[in-house]
């Protein structure tokens, strides 16, 4: 394979950028925006703000992916082969990946500024915090993704902040329904990251990267995956029982087979086999989130 500079074949570079931005991971950004918007469905739908929120979410996610690859490389933490290793493989230069991350964050910020102009300052606070969280996931001096805080932070930013923020841009107020809807969404996106870290226990320990999975090891890490997977369903059941979520959101129970299928993959012991577990937890998050959004939307319509 040729070097990732100017002489690299066009198809090779396009494929390298595809691997670097990882669009297959974007359902984790799509679901919170859909759920937050559906939570505000009783108000008049504002499609322009919805599209701006979705674009901003995707751009910040892309920036986070690129920044993670860049800092993993510059700090001597080898990118995993499952993600392509585009810098290590010479397909792209480290500097251009870092520049692309900054551009994505800047474009995401531009979307946020338009929303702020149309709605108000709370979106500005959420947007700035989200960009900083994405950049410093692996950037010094914070590097919270390597200090055992990854799951907590994605729960906050890809759950609470994104769902409630997407609801806010529609109704311009914070809403308890959006808060309760955000909880299971955040739990299941944290579940994806935990499955990813569970797969990488050996690799992460070798590179002194602290995650919940590498700290407690298996089978305790398996138990955490069970807790997160089933916990999302319990939160919705509790929300319906407390009348904070509509009965229609019980549609998420149709995703129970997805949870069961994902957890069965914990029988795998090798990292390569556990790649299927990561994909299965992502599928669970997507199906659960779509059903939750549908339930919220049906409640508003019916």
Contact residues for 265 (Cβ-Cβ < 8 A; gap 6+) = 273, 274, 276, 277, 280
CA separation for the pair 150, 141 (Å, rounded): 15
Give the CA diameter of the chain: 62
**Tokens linked to 108:** 């995401």
Query: Does a structural domain hold residue 6?
Result: no
Q: Which residues of 264-294 are buried (b: 16+ CB within 10 A; e: fewer)?
A: ebbeeeebeebbebbebbbbbbbbbbbbbbb
CA separation for the pair 198, 76 (Å, rounded): 21
Note the pLDDT of residue 4: 43
Note the pLDDT of residue 275: 87
130-159 pLDDT tens trace? 999 988 988 888 888 888 899 999 999 999
pTM: 0.89
CA separation for the pair 297, 289 (Å, rounded): 12
Q: Which residues of 39-70 are buried (b: 16+ CB within 10 A; e: fewer)?
A: bbbeeeebeebbebbbbbbbbbbbbbbbbbbb
From the list 113, 99, 117, the residue with the least C-alpha distance to 62 is 99
Q: Tokens 């999975």 correspond to what residue?
A: 213
Query: Does a structural domain hold residue 238?
Result: yes
Q: Tokens 């082969």 correspond to what residue?
A: 81
Note the pLDDT of residue 239: 95
Query: Does a structural domain hold residue 210?
Result: yes
Note the pLDDT of residue 48: 92
pLDDT under 50 in the chain at which residues? 1-11, 79-84
CATH of the domain at 44: 1.10.600
Query: Does a structural domain hold residue 11?
Result: no
CA separation for the pair 189, 210 (Å, rounded): 19
Q: Report the number of distinct structural domains present in the chain.
A: 1
* Host domain of residue 235: 21-301
Query: Does a structural domain hold residue 126?
Result: yes
Q: Phi and psi for 79 in degrees, rounded to 5?
A: -60, 145
Query: Does a structural domain hold residue 189?
Result: yes
Note the pLDDT of residue 79: 45
CA separation for the pair 183, 201 (Å, rounded): 27
Note the pLDDT of residue 294: 97
Note the pLDDT of residue 89: 64
């Amino acid at each position: 394979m040729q070097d990732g500079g100017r002489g690299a074949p066009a198809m090779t570079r396009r494929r390298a950028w595809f691997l670097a931005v990882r669009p297959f991971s974007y359902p984790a950004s799509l679901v919170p925006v859909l759920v937050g918007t559906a939570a505000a469905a009783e108000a008049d739908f504002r499609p322009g703000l919805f599209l701006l929120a979705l674009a901003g979410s995707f751009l910040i996610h892309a920036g986070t992916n690129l920044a993670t690859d860049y800092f993993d490389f510059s700090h001597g933490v080898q990118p995993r082969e499952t993600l392509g290793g585009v810098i290590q493989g010479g397909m792209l230069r480290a500097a251009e990946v870092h520049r692309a991350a900054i551009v994505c964050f800047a474009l995401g910020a531009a979307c946020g500024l338009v929303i702020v102009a149309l709605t108000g300052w709370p979106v500005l606070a959420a947007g700035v915090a989200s960009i900083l969280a994405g950049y410093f996931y692996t950037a010094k001096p914070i590097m919270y993704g390597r200090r055992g805080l990854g799951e907590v932070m994605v729960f906050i930013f890809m759950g609470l902040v994104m769902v409630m923020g997407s609801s806010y841009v529609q109704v311009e107020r914070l809403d308890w329904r959006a808060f309760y809807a955000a909880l299971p969404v955040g739990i299941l996106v944290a579940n994806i990251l935990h499955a990813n870290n569970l797969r990488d226990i050996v690799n992460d320990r070798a590179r002194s990267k602290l995650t919940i999975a590498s700290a407690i090891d298996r089978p305790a890490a398996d138990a955490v995956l069970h807790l997160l997977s089933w916990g999302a369903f319990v939160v919705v059941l509790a929300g319906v029982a407390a009348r904070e979520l509509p009965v229609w959101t019980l549609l998420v129970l149709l995703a129970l087979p997805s949870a069961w299928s994902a957890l069965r993959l914990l029988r795998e012991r090798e990292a390569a086999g556990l790649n299927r577990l990561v994909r299965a937890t992502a599928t669970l998050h997507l199906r659960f989130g779509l059903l939750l959004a549908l339930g919220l939307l049906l409640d508003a319509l019916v």
